[in-house]
Amino acid sequence: MIDFNKTNFIKSAQKVNQMPPDTGAEVAFAGRSNAGKSSTINCLTDIRGLAKTSKTPGRTQLLNCFALNEDASLRLIDLPGYGYAKVSKSKRELWQKHLANYFEVRQSLKLVVVLMDIRHPLTELDRDMIDWAIDGGLHVHIVLTKSDKISKNKAKSTEMQVYKHYELAQDFVTVQSFSSLKKDGILPLKAAIERVICS
């Protein structure tokens, strides 16, 4: 069992070779800019301000590394958001290059948590990210954020729609709805992470 409340920030890295040693197990949080990655990490750990949040898309520009245990052998990685961001095209392309390198070379990466706004799921970029992870043999846990913005019935319907989209890859893909505002969906998220990196 992981004590998520003891999570602490290790470092920010621009490149993969600046990250902590490639040992143990890692969970990467990916999603479109402003999908709620940082808010989800703060909610998951119950540590306000652990991951920096912003209403400005593209605020997370580095690979932010957090330790889940004392020796940092279990880690969370907050990735730069993909898609729209108020930065230059060249900077966006540089992020994408570093992200691609991270997915290709990082042996400790075991799970990719892909966050999508539940009102706008399965954009082309989201599907590309998930397909990329599955092709690399990685487990993917899809978190449909901001579920408090719609009715419970609509949230359940969207969850089923996303699950059916990846029915053929159900050995690799799990899906849940989540609200950091209402702290709804924390237990399934913790269980999904522990299932993969503590096995």
| pLDDT tens-digit map of 55-112 | 555 555 788 999 999 999 999 999 988 875 566 677 667 667 767 788 889 999 999 9
pLDDT value for 95: 65
> For position 199, what pLDDT does the model report?
73
Residue-level pLDDT at 46:
95
Domain 4-197 has CATH 3.30.465.10: no
* Residue 55: predicted pLDDT: 53
Helices 186-197 and 37-45: crossing angle, nearest 10°? 90
Residue 99: predicted pLDDT: 76
Spans in the chain with pLDDT lower than 70: 54-60, 84-88, 91-92, 94-95, 98
- Provide the residue ranges of all domains of the chain, joining segments of one domain with +: 4-197
pTM: 0.92
Q: What's the pLDDT at 155?
A: 96
Please give the full DSSP string across 17-83, using - where no structure is assigned.
Answer: GGSSPS-SEEEEEEEBTTSSHHHHHHHHHT-TTSS---SSTT---SEEEEESSTTS-EEEEEPPPBS
Per-residue pLDDT at 100: 77
pLDDT value, residue 87: 61
What local confidence, expressed as pLDDT, does residue 50 receive?
93
Q: How far apart are CA 96 and CA 4, in angstroms?
A: 29
